[in-house]
């Protein structure tokens, strides 16, 4: 009897394993090999140089104001003028810091914008391979899920078990194949 139960369990586990096919990809390596990446890198260099020149102009303005303040201070500025110039210098320092922070964020946003078409191209190639070879899940080498067959999405079942009713707009996000499960 134990032998029969073991065989049934083994057969069931083989069946469940045969239903899934998992693959991995290295998106960063694929991206580095795409011919379009050279154009993206060049565009980013130009954009970065533009941001750097803007920062440099602000920095030069700041240095001029500081130099003018130091010269006038030696000539004997009154206290009101000192406070006004000091406030101007502090404001310029803050603006310069904000500009530096914003420029790195802007560069990152621009990079994402330039790379999006390349990632879309990679995604389409992955979709074709998934359809051709029957993969159910694809992971990036850093273990993030790139693709999962919608029939393996348990979102609606979990919500049902929790007794949570799904609203119309939320059910549109989840693939239709699961709505009948």
Contact between 36 and 152 (Cβ < 8 Å): no
Q: Return the pLDDT at 6.
A: 44
In a domain, 29, yes or no: no
Q: What is the DSSP string of 44-80?
A: HHHHHHHHHHHHHHHHHHHHHHHHHHHHHHHH---HH
102-120: average pLDDT:
95
42 and 121, same domain (yes or no):
yes
Q: How confident is the model at residue 175 (pLDDT cuts 50, 70, 90)?
A: very low
φ, ψ at 20 (rounded to 5°): -115, 145
Residue 55 has pLDDT above 90, yes or no: yes
**What's the pLDDT at 178?**
38
Close Cβ partners of 104 (under 8 Å, ≥ 6 residues apart)? none
Which residues, in sequence order, are CB contacts of 123 under 8 Å at separation 6+?
A: 146
Among 8-12, 25-29, 89-93, 120-124, where is mean pLDDT lowest?
A: 8-12
DSSP E strand stretches across the chain: 22-25, 137-140, 145-148
Do 54 and 119 fall into the same domain? Answer: yes
Averaged pLDDT for residues 143-172:
76
**Domain tally, the chain:** 2
Statement to judge: residues 48 and 117 lie in one domain:
yes
Same domain, 72 and 102: yes
pLDDT of 59-80, one tens digit each? 999 999 888 888 877 677 788 8
User: How remote is the C-alpha of 141 from its chain's centroid?
Assistant: 16
Distance (Å, rounded) from C-alpha 123 to C-alpha 50? 31
The whole-number pLDDT of residue 174 equals 46
Is the pLDDT higher at 19 or at 63?
63
Does 87 share its domain with 171? Answer: no
| Percent of the chain whose pLDDT exceeds 70 | 82
Q: 124-155: per-residue pLDDT in tens?
A: 999 999 989 988 888 888 878 888 888 777 77
108 & 166 share domain: no
Cβ contact 130:24 at 8 Å: no
Residue 70 lies in a domain: yes
Structural domain boundaries enclosing 172: 153-181
């Amino acid at each position: 009897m134990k032998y029969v139960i073991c065989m049934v369990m083994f057969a069931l586990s083989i069946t469940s394993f045969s239903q899934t096919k998992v693959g991995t990809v290295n998106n960063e390596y694929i991206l580095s090999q795409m011919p379009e990446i050279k154009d993206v890198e060049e565009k980013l260099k130009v954009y970065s140089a533009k941001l750097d020149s803007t920062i440099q102009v602000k920095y030069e303005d700041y240095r001029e104001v500081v130099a003018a303040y130091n010269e006038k201070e030696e000539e004997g500025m009154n206290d009101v003028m000192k406070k006004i110039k000091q406030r101007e210098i502090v404001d310029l320092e803050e603006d310069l810091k904000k500009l530096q922070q914003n420029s790195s964020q802007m560069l990152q946003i621009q990079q994402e914008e330039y790379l999006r078409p390349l990632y879309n191209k990679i995604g389409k190639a992955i979709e074709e391979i998934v359809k051709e070879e029957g993969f159910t899940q694809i992971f990036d080498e850093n273990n993030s899920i790139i693709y999962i067959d919608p029939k393996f999405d348990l979102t609606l079942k979990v919500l049902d078990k929790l007794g949570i009713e799904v609203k119309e707009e939320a059910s549109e996000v989840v693939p239709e194949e699961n709505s009948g499960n």
